[in-house]
Structure 1
């Protein structure tokens, strides 16, 4: 929801957007993963042409500060293009409150039902009576107790006190109507069993975007594949229907080979490679929750980042760091300088009320269109970064130590309980014993290491922490982090991050980062915390030590514990980097 001057709107579904062929983005691996043919830049156009992103009026309930009427906007008789009360010519105010459910439905706050069911407890409005609502503020307090609703039917007035309780609507028998106002008329879903919750219209909990991203890596970042992208849909349909010689003749007439840079045979090979990607299987969606850092997209990137590229292309260049005749700091196995990278970030869906689970165990997905679309909105950003791989030979024995295992177990237990609770609320038929958190000591270590390096590098090379991002590669056979500057504004193009990956510089910044981590201004409570952060998914982590701006973190600042890096006062061996001392 967005506020424009004195009115409020909700962004319309993507099937109403007018998109342009010139704004198409391709990223084959991510397209295959999300099951779409392409991505589109969100359309931007100057009013009043109306060719940009469409919006719809929401919420529909407005109030007048003069006559105190509370009713649908259309009933005020406002002059066209304005937001004024037709009776007293005073500005109208959109409702401050809405209701939403965990399944993504959104509706106006049910003022009438709240008033009548709370006041007379019969659960029904007075039949035959007129119902003209009024919204008044007593001004006695700053709480919802001072916001009072009245009705012309004579029912006892009621305040909005208690409206934000988790079960406030359920206790009054107010159910979710399955409304999806962003999709327009006749888009409501019936039979929603979720309990609606009251939210402030501008609350962050009213919308949580679910984004997916991928780096452009060879061979898909190469020039030939990029030039093939617009033609792939047309030519791939002919592979099983037309002899290859016919396809080769068609390719030979295309602009891809007219400049002599590629032969028809090379283009056909690239076409077959892309077809093989489209035909490859996707993971089972019902499998155990998996952190994004371990999926197949990340595995492919991990291989490219670890090995580097022999021939740099426009979107990806990765080379080994300069050694300066100095070995890597203790615990690290490899440092790679990513001098050029391109990332595509696509909006897959969104949720409401509760954050989507970072481990993928949450299957809530709200529809972004009435019909199935072959594209998703996305942006592409370019930047630079440093890839660091942690020494697996040192990680494995550390993971078996009692200290790391015990601390990781605390976060694992809290996350598992959260996953099971959400599965139960969603009506999952899976046994609770089958639902387990994928969080490990290895993941917590690398995630926290990425955070402390981002904080340190932001001080050392002049970037704000919000301009740096982490990208994790963690599984039983992966242990790497990429810190990069892919951002859509000028803060991502200042240069300087790549230099942080050189061995001598890494020694300096890692030592400084670990030194800062050993002490937090919130200690001892921070280090001794048994649970902290959102849903108790952190241990020793707060904004005074390792937390980052949320745009920089992959998991909304959860699964963090600086004791995994430097140990605790009682047991220094819990810290991975204390082994080398």
Structure 2
């Protein structure tokens, strides 16, 4: 678990109020409160609660700070650990710039004993956000500085809370001695450029003006679930004006909100100079408040070129460019410095080291070249090396490789469905994940779709490192018959069902909040029919494997290799179902054991037979997007095919059981399932 530490606050909380955060160090001489307020698993900090997201704690909420604030934590250590993986680091550099020189784990250190203080000074800095609170005792609504903060128990971070001292209470039931607990106000403003701001409650209740009776009026937030006033009511205690928050909802309500976004980034404690997007109302717990933009790879044995590239990365991080430049022509000195910094040089010649030095000192490519490479980049490029490696069993190591990968070509059962051509057991594997940034309101299909929408992680927008995690686990790789997939795909592309899915995808693309859809052709982002097939098969296998492997379905994840041939790469049709954990050296072997020929045959037959029926049939089996709908799935639902968010790489989109099995359809034509009818299984 990684600890979360409250850090510096905001220098400006509201248009009409300039307030100082008592937890911050904006005032000279104020001691910063760094007591632990919570903890989170590395995977949740990567995909759910990273910098810029809002994390709910028992009594208030926080926002992990940007990477600039993390540097203060890392400075408490003489040596900053890094994760060495050149293939992923190159992708990060492609999107964030050549100045990125490292992947770093989260600032956390394991404890040898439960009561030891090891790593107590490490943690992720976070800011209290939202910084407007509502008193649960008297409904008072005000900024953070009007509430008292307590966080004194070193082993009970859940007791940290804000309280309204001298609370008058309701109906004479005052709580002036200890105060009443305060909770965050739920309403926020955001825009498609990723900015996030407090809701201007005072301006809202006074309809854009100031209170005529008080310069800083006290506000109340009351629940009103009677009649048409659904939601909260904001009331001014000074002038008596009231206004419901329901008015701010929807497209009509958006017209009543401020027309100009202030460009605020709470995680950076900064404002952008200008923002041309209009703000929209969003609730604190909304699912579209934060979308992580991440990239991941499976670590494989490195080629000779990748080994040299890894050495260059180590020299760049451990020695620094200035030191490498100073002693670059003195290989013996470079070797001595590398050895002193624990860089492994075994098996490397002087020429290899000289090549790595030259790589470090090579001039950066021009901005035009970098922009073009980023625009042309396809996420499939990360998967192609993995697919190619899995196609060459002769390269598989006979025992665990230093990369952490151990795979075994399994004997194919004669009874296994002929459309499944190969089975590979991934006995051990390591997966490295890196975060590039995040978006709000709408998730980007590709990180390079519109670079300006990717919210920056540092104040200058040019990080020199990004957070990353290392996950270890196991898995099973299944490959379909490539020729059969190509023939089947040509048939599907000419069907009316596929045309309906294509039209629904285009409609969904045009209805999105972001500006991305205006820059991209929707058909370029529609996965091929083979992807729908592999994706659906992966989901039904995950549901079936969860009952036999000893892992919950939420612990199993998918990795789909589904693309057609092009001048840059050969066609692929395969899937990897795996389980990984960032805080473990491996898993128990329950998943890879299912790759045994007899067990796998029975599992595949059972999964396909279950997928042929759904408790929502015939509605589910015949579901086809129509003109007024834009859902991105066909014959699939929670009863038969959907998987948890932690398992699916496409958020349960692009699923249709009709591509996998022969099922009834309302389109007036039969769509051939790749595996045929259930009776033939």
Counterparts in 2 of 1:254 and 1:132: CA distance versus 1, 3 Å = closer
CA distance in 1, matches of 2:445, 2:363: 28
Displacement of 1:176: 2.2
Other-structure match for 1:34: 92
Aligned residue for 2:391, secondary structure, equals helix
Summarize deviations over 1:107-152 as a string: whole Å, max 9, x none: 11221222122xxxxx433567535142242655498635221224
In the alignment, which residue of structure 2 is the partner of 1:454? Answer: 542
- How far residue 301 of structure 1 moved from its aligned partner, in angstroms, is 1.0
More helix by share: 1
Is 1:189 equivalent to 2:279 in the alignment? Answer: no
Contact 1:463 1:491 in 2 (8 A): no
Aligned mates of 1:273, 1:453 — CA distance in 2: 48
Q: Which residue of 1 aligns with 2:128?
A: 57
Q: Which residue pairs with 1:329 in the alignment?
A: 417
| CA-to-aligned-CA distance 1:134-193 (integer Å, 9 cap, x gap) | 224265549863522122453631122233324523334443221111111xx1124323
Q: Distance in 2 between matches of 1:63 and 1:255?
A: 57
Aligned residue for 2:436?
Answer: 348
Contact 1:361 1:419 in 2 (8 A): no
Give matches, 1:348-387, under 5 Å: 348-357=436-445, 361=449, 363=451, 364-371=453-460, 372-387=462-477
Hey, what does 2:673 align to over in structure 1?
575
Per the alignment, residue 159 of structure 1 pairs with 244
Match of 1:231 in 2: 315
The 5 A counterparts of 1:169-188 are: 169-184=254-269, 187-188=270-271
* 1:386 and 1:482 in contact (8 A); partners too: yes
Contact 1:342 1:380 in 2 (8 A): yes
* Contact kept in structure 2, 1:12 and 1:56, CA below 8 Å: yes
Q: State the partner residue of 2:291.
A: 208
CA–CA separation in structure 2 for the residues paired with 1:351 and 1:557: 19
Number of equivalences: 566
C-alpha distance in 2, partners of 1:376/1:454?
31
In the superposition, relative to structure 1, how do residues 245 and 98 fare at CA in structure 2: closer, same or farther (>3 Å)?
A: closer
Shift of 1:345: 1.0
- Tell me how far apart the structure 2 counterparts of residues 543 and 347 of structure 1 sit (CA, whole Å): 29
Matched residue SS, 2:479: strand
568-577 or 504-513, larger mean C-alpha shift:
568-577
User: Alignment partner for residue 69 of structure 2, among 16, 22, 30?
Assistant: 16
Match of 1:84 among 156, 163, 169: 163
Q: CA deviation at 1:92?
A: 2.5
Which whole-Å CA distance do the structure 2 matches of 1:51 and 1:216 have between them? 28
Q: Which residues of structure 2 form unaligned runs of 5+?
A: 1-53, 94-99, 110-116, 153-160, 168-178, 565-570
Shift of 1:65: 3.6
The question of whether the paired residues in 1 share the 8 Å contact of 2:134 and 2:221 is answered with no
Distance 1:49-1:401 versus aligned 2 partners, 3 A rule: closer
Determine if contact 1:384/1:497 at 8 Å carries over to the other structure: yes
Q: 1:77 to 1:223 in 2, by over 3 A?
A: closer
Does the 8 Å CA contact 2:507/2:630 hold for their aligned counterparts? no
Aligned-partner Cα distance in 1 for 2:611–2:89 = 40
> What is the distance in 1 between the residues matched to 2:276 and 2:612?
48
Contact kept in structure 2, 1:319 and 1:337, CA below 8 Å:
yes
In structure 1, the partner of 2:220 is 135
Secondary structure at 1:32 match in 2 = helix
1:463-478 alignment runs, 5 A limit? 463-476=551-564, 477-478=571-572
Deviates more, 1:488-497 or 1:197-206: 488-497
Q: Please, which moves more after superposition, 129-138 or 50-59? A: 129-138
Taking a change above 3 Å as real, the CA distance of residues 274 and 442 of structure 1, as seen in their structure-2 partners, is farther
- The secondary structure found in structure 2 opposite 1:9 is strand
Where 2:246 maps in the other structure, the secondary structure is: coil
* CA distance in 2: counterparts of 1:285 and 1:346, whole angstroms: 17
Unmatched tracts of structure 1, length 5 or more: 118-122
What is the deviation of 1:10? 1.5
Residue of structure 1 equivalent to 2:624:
530
Aligned partners of 1:435, 1:403: CA distance in 2, in Å?
13
Partner of 2:60: 7
| TM-score, with length taken from structure 1 | 0.85
Q: Please show how residues 110-125 of structure 1 align to structure 2 within 5 Å.
A: 110-117=200-207, 123-125=208-210
Deviates most, 218-227 or 303-312: 218-227
CA distance in 2 between counterparts of 1:422 and 1:248 reads 58
Q: Could you report, residue by residue, the CA deviation over 1:471-491 in whole angstroms, capped at 9, with x for unpaired residues?
A: 111211111111111123569
C-alpha spacing 1:217/1:272, structure 2 compared with 1 (3 Å)? farther
Stretch deviating more after TM superposition (298-307 or 499-508): 499-508
* Structure 2 counterpart of 1:409: 499
> For 1:296-350, what per-residue CA distance to the aligned partner results, in whole angstroms no more than 9, with x for missing partners?
11101111122133434131122311246x3752212222222221101112111
Q: 1:262 to 1:80 in 2, by over 3 A?
A: closer
Indicate the residue corresponding to 1:72 in structure 2.
143
In 1, Cα distance between the equivalents of 2:245 and 2:662? 49
Name the CA distance, whole Å, in 2 between partners of 1:242 and 1:359.
Answer: 37
- 1:505 corresponds in structure 2 to 599
